[in-house]
């Protein structure tokens, strides 16, 4: 039986998600490329998740991260699908590194554990990144959602939080939700966050993708279990994301309003679906 999607505080029956995987090659290789060719993406107007960003919301999604294997091999799948990769980053003292893909108003971050000792250090321990990586996809959600103030809104973190200011990354500051469980995504808030299209020229990243994705217009998070009163449920009620219960952890990102009716399913390489 389908779970429920929480949309702006209204529980609705969730549509059944059908994986659209055209012309998949039968292969034992963990990375399958043929179904990722943009020319093969099928149109699927039926059974799509509903995406809502509440008008007037005080915060919006700045970026999402996915916990991945070392050096994020899934990034190659995204590149082959027609996405242009931005610059990579490492996080000294935190024990993580990433590969990144930018859009006009958001970013997708593939994050991996580069140094277990740093991730378990006193500086980083409270983030629970070590536990999240250790149980990713099983006892922990592999996702993180980072919010920023909406355009014109006063910065105000929408959940109870604590400030993370690692001394090994001078100038970096982020609010981390204090009440999240490992089975739900990690939630953070960047009061100084800005859309990538508004970054200064010296920091500007590639945002023109051959596959045609430009603007993030919706986020659906699927979790096996999310309790009432959780940060994730609260963010769904406020229209920041949509939420669906299911047997697997899955992230769905809608671009450009989903007008093309196309689906790009990155499983099994990444627990990620693009809709455009």
pLDDT tens string 250-259: 999 999 999 9
Average pLDDT over residues 170-187: 96
The closest of 264, 134, 272 to 209, measured between CA atoms, is 264
Q: Band of the pLDDT at 27, cuts 50, 70, 90?
A: very low
Strand, helix or coil at 271?
coil
More confident residue, 75 or 2: 75
Share of the chain above pLDDT 90, in %: 77
Q: Return the minimum-mean-pLDDT range out of 43-57, 95-109, 168-182, 228-242.
A: 43-57
Q: Token pair of 111, please?
A: 């994050």
CA distance 141 to 232: 12
Q: Are 70 and 105 in contact (CB under 8 A)?
A: no
Average pLDDT over residues 207-215: 97
Q: Are 4 and 244 in contact (CB under 8 A)?
A: yes
Cross-strand bridge partners of residue 127: none
The pLDDT of residue 4 = 33
Distances (CA, A) of 149 to 62, 108, 158, 224: 9, 18, 10, 29
pLDDT tens string 144-176: 999 999 999 999 999 999 999 999 999 999 999
The pLDDT of residue 198 = 96
């Amino acid at each position: 039986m389908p779970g429920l999607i929480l949309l702006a505080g209204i529980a609705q029956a969730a549509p059944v998600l059908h994986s659209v995987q055209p012309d998949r090659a039968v292969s034992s290789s963990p990375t399958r490329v043929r179904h990722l060719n943009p020319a093969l993406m099928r149109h699927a107007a039926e059974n799509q998740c509903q995406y809502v960003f509440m008008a007037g919301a005080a915060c919006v999604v700045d970026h999402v991260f996915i916990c991945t294997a070392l050096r994020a091999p899934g990034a190659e799948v995204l590149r082959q699908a027609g996405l242009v990769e931005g610059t990579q980053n490492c996080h000294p003292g935190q024990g993580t590194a990433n590969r990144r893909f930018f859009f006009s108003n958001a970013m997708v971050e593939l994050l991996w554990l580069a140094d277990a000792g740093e991730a378990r250090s006193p500086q980083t321990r409270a983030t629970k990144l070590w536990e999240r990586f250790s149980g990713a996809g099983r006892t922990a959600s592999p996702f993180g959602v980072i919010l920023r103030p909406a355009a014109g809104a006063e910065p105000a973190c929408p959940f109870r939080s604590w400030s993370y200011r690692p001394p090994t990354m001078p100038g970096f500051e982020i609010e981390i939700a204090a009440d999240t469980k490992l089975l739900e995504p990690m939630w953070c808030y960047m009061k100084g966050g800005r859309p990538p299209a508004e970054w200064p020229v010296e920091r500007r990243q590639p945002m023109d993708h051959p596959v045609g994705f430009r603007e993030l217009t919706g986020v659906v998070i699927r979790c096996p279990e999310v309790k009432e009163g959780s940060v994730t449920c609260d963010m769904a009620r406020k229209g920041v994301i949509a939420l669906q219960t299911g047997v697997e952890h899955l992230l769905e990102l809608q671009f450009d309003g989903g007008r093309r009716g196309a689906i790009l399913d990155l499983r099994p390489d990444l627990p990620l679906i693009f809709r455009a």
